[in-house]
Amino acid sequence: MGKADLHIHTTYSYDGTATVAATLEHVVRNTDLDVIAITDHDQIDGALEATYLAARYDLEVVPGIEVSTAEGHLLALFVHRPVPMGLSLAETVLAVGEQGGLCVAAHPGGPWSWCITELTLRRALLTPGVAETLVGLERYNASLPDLSINDRAQAIHACIPLAAVANSDAHMLWMIGNAATYFPGLGSAALRTALRERTTAPLISPRPAHFIASYVKHQALRMVGLAHWSLPAPGSPIALRRLAADVK
C-alpha cells in the first residue's frame, strides 16, 4: 500500500512556515510517506520546485495548488501551470481537467467561506465534464480549528461517494503526515488510479493538544520573516532562519 499526504504548504504560501527543501528533508527524515503533494495557496511555484528537487530525496511529489474558487478551496493535483482563482467551482475543475489534473474538495462542509458546501458540490458535479476531474474530498483535515467539522465532511461523503482522503493541511513541519491517505500500489501513478477508482482510505492520527499554540507561534515567526530552512541537499540540517525577500 502507498501512503500519501496531499495537502502541504510551504513558504510559497503566505502562511507556510517551511521552505520547500526543509519540507522534503523533513518528510524523508521523519515520515513514512512515499508520495506528497505541495499545494500552496493559489501558487504553483513551490510545487514545481519540489518536483524538481524530489529525485534527490527519493520521494515522489505531486504538483498541486490549493485554489481559491468563488465557492471554496479546491485541491488541484497533477497540474503544472497556474489555475485562475475566483472562478466558480465547476469552472475551476474544468480548468484543472484541461491540464489533465484531478481535484479534491478541501475541508468541505465547514462554516467558513473557504469551505465548499454539499450543495455546491452537487451542483458542480451536474456540470458536464466535472465528474471526470472532481474525484475526491477531504473526509478528514487535520489542521481545522475545530476538528468536529470533519464529521460534516464524513456525512457529505456518505451522500456523495467521491474518493475519501485524509490530509494534514500542514503549515508546520511536524504536522506533515498527521493525517494521510492509503492507496493500493505505490507511487503517484497508482495514487492517481486510486483516486479515480475511489479505492483510497483515510488514515487519521490523534492531533496533539499543543497544535493551536504551535500554530500561533509559527505564524508569529512567519510574520517577522522567520521560517524553517534547509539547503536543497539530502541530509542537510533544518534550521530556523530569516528569509531573504526573494527566498521562498
Q: What is the pLDDT of residues 55-93, one digit of tens each?
A: 999 999 999 999 999 999 999 999 999 999 999 999 999
pLDDT at 188: 98
Average predicted confidence (pLDDT) for the chain? 97
Q: Is residue 191 part of a domain?
A: yes
Closest CA to 76 of 111, 48, 38: 38
Query: How far is the CA of 180 from the CAs of 118, 162, 196, 219, 242, in angstroms?
Result: 23, 16, 17, 23, 30
Measured CA to CA in angstroms, residue 36 lies from 29, 68, 77, 131, 225 at distances of 14, 20, 11, 23, 25
CB 213 within 8 A of CB 232: no
How many domains is the chain partitioned into structurally? 1
pLDDT of residue 78: 98
Q: Quickly state the pLDDT bin for 26 (edges 50, 70, 90).
A: very high
Domain with residue 113: its CATH number is 3.20.20.140
| 247 within some domain | no
Percent residues over pLDDT 70 in the chain:
98
Structure confidence at residue 135 (pLDDT): 98
- The tens digit of pLDDT for each residue in 141-181 reads 999 999 999 999 999 999 999 999 999 999 999 999 999 99
The answer as to whether 27 is a domain residue is yes
Torsion on CA atoms 38, 166, 196, 108, rounded to nearest 10: -90
- Residues 199-222 have a mean pLDDT of 97
Mean pLDDT (whole number) for 190-200: 98
Band of residue 246 on the pLDDT scale cut at 50, 70, 90: low
- Asked whether residue 248 carries a pLDDT value surpassing 90, the answer given is no
For residues 142 and 158, what is the distance between their CA atoms, to the nearest angstrom?
A: 19
Residue 247 pLDDT class (50, 70, 90 cuts): low
pLDDT above 80: residue 25: yes
Residue 245 pLDDT: 64
Give mean pLDDT, residues 188-210.
97
Give me the amino acid identity at 158.
A
pLDDT in tens, 102-140: 999 999 999 999 999 999 999 999 999 999 999 999 999
CB 10 within 8 A of CB 216: no
| CA gap 220, 239 in Å, rounded | 16
Q: How far apart, in whole angstroms, are the C-alpha atoms of residue 128 and residue 148?
A: 33
Range of the domain at 7: 2-242
Read off the pLDDT of residues 225-235 as tens digits, 9 standing for 90 and up. Answer: 999 999 999 99
Confidence bin at 19 (pLDDT 50/70/90) = very high
248 assigned to some structural domain: no
Using DSSP bridges, classify how beta strands 2-8 and 35-41 pair: parallel, antiparallel or unpaired. Answer: parallel
Q: In this structure, are residues 136 and 192 in contact, taking their beta carbons and an 8 Å threshold?
A: no
Report if residue 150 sits inside a domain.
yes
Q: How far is CA 123 from CA 33, 114, 117, 127, 130, in A?
A: 34, 17, 10, 7, 10
Q: Report if residue 187 sits inside a domain.
A: yes
